[in-house]
């Protein structure tokens, strides 16, 4: 067991007690799904992914553990112990595989969501790196590196077969990495599915990025999305989590994803530096990373659900 596993088991047992369903005879209606999810103390969440089933997967910045929560009950448990390095951005594919960005570990992993088994591991960088987020599009998994101007591509083969190695795709064109970081952070497809969108967190700029890595700044009419982190695309609407600003920016894009307009920014009193975003049942779910709170083994963490703005 990892050092935190025993504490997580205890924490989970308490959570189960708190969210237990009503006793028989108390009514036939299913209780409303919780809008605040308690995560293990000291977990330090960053990434979230939700597939077709009502389960959310969270990654730990401490040791890379993957924690699964039932969105209907709030109950959760560790399904995969980490390698001792981080688990950041994540996405679930239609085959029940969780693609995980390894942060400062410079790696990526693919995990079976049913068993927690690691199906494949990839060394993406051998120099200091911060593999921050991942998206699935164009027949591949694409990873950002917030330290180095490079994307990493895991091309998926026939029937989704995993590759033996990743391909480095240097970023060229308009994007210029700046210090201090992070630079390229969240990543998503364009509305037409022919390219990628990357947010540069430290400048607040969005970039249209071809699969060959050529970047062009997306015209937002003079607006920026500073502290931009996780991205979520719904049709031609892009949602950008602005972590330390405790808000979600809503952007209407053209089909190609080369121009956009910021139409709203939404906050919530429960936001405490939310980082990434996933959708289920007409709600957005966001983990509170609490970057501005001292991280101790006893520090509490939550994820919150909000209506889609």
Question: pLDDT (tens digit, 9 = 90+) per residue, 238-277?
Answer: 999 999 999 999 999 999 999 999 999 999 999 999 999 9
The answer to whether residues 64 and 86 touch, using CB atoms and an 8 Å cutoff, is yes
- Mean pLDDT, residues 9-37: 56
Q: CA–CA separation, 66 vs 72, rounded Å?
A: 19
Which are the contacts of 27, defined by CB distance < 8 A and separation ≥ 6?
none
pLDDT of residue 75: 98
For the record, the structure tokens of 76 come out as 């959760």
Angle at 196 between CA 101 and CA 138, to 5 degrees: 80
Residue 3 pLDDT class (50, 70, 90 cuts)? very low
- Mean pLDDT, residues 110-121: 98
Work out the percent of the chain whose per-residue pLDDT is above 70: 91
84: left (phi over 0), alpha (psi -120 to 50) or beta: left
Please give the backbone phi and psi of residue 61, each rounded to the nearest 5 degrees, phi first: -80, -10
Q: Is the pLDDT of residue 9 over 50?
A: no
Q: CA–CA separation, 90 vs 197, rounded Å?
A: 16
Task: Give me the domains of the chain, ranges plus CATH numbers.
Answer: 5-20+33-307 (2.120.10.30)
DSSP state of 162: P
The answer to whether residues 308 and 234 touch, using CB atoms and an 8 Å cutoff, is yes
Burial class of residue 252 in the structure, from the number of CB atoms within 10 Å of its CB (0-12 exposed, 13-18 middle, 19+ buried): middle
In the structure, how many helices (H) and strands (E) does the chain have? 1, 25
For the record, the structure tokens of 30 come out as 């299913």
Cβ atoms within 10 Å of 126's Cβ, excluding its own = 7
**Measured between alpha carbons, how far is residue 57 from residues 30, 148, 159, 169, 184 in Å?**
23, 27, 24, 28, 23
pLDDT of residue 37: 98
């Amino acid at each position: 067991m990892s050092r935190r596993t025993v504490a997580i088991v205890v924490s989970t047992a308490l959570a189960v007690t708190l969210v237990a369903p009503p006793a028989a005879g108390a009514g036939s209606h299913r209780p409303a799904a919780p809008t605040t999810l308690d995560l293990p103390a000291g977990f330090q969440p960053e990434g979230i992914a939700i597939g077709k089933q009502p389960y959310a997967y969270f990654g730990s910045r401490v040791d890379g553990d993957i924690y699964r929560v039932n969105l209907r009950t709030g109950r959760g448990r560790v399904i995969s112990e980490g390698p001792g390095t981080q688990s950041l951005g994540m996405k679930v594919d239609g085959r029940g595989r969780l693609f995980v960005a390894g942060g400062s570990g410079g790696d990526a992993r693919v995990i079976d969501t049913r068993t927690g088994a690691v199906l494949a591991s990839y060394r993406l960088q051998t120099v200091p790196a911060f593999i921050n987020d991942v998206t699935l599009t164009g027949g591949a998994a694409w990873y950002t590196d917030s330290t180095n101007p490079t994307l990493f591509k895991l091309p998926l083969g026939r029937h989704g077969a995993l590759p033996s190695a990743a391909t480095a795709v240097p970023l060229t064109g308009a994007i210029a990495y700046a210090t201090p970081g992070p630079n390229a952070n969240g990543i998503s497809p364009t509305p037409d599915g022919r390219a990628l969108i990357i947010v540069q967190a430290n400048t607040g700029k969005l970039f249209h990025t071809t699969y060959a890595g050529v970047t062009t700044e997306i015209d937002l009419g003079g607006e920026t999305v500073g502290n931009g982190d996780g991205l979520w695309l719904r049709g031609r609407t892009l949602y950008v989590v602005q972590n330390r600003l405790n808000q979600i920016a809503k952007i209407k894009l053209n089909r190609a994803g080369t121009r956009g307009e910021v139409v709203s920014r939404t906050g919530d009193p429960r936001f405490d530096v939310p980082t990434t975003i996933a959708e289920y049942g007409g709600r957005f779910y966001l983990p509170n990373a609490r970057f501005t709170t001292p991280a101790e083994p006893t520090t509490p963490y939550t994820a919150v659900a909000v209506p889609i703005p």
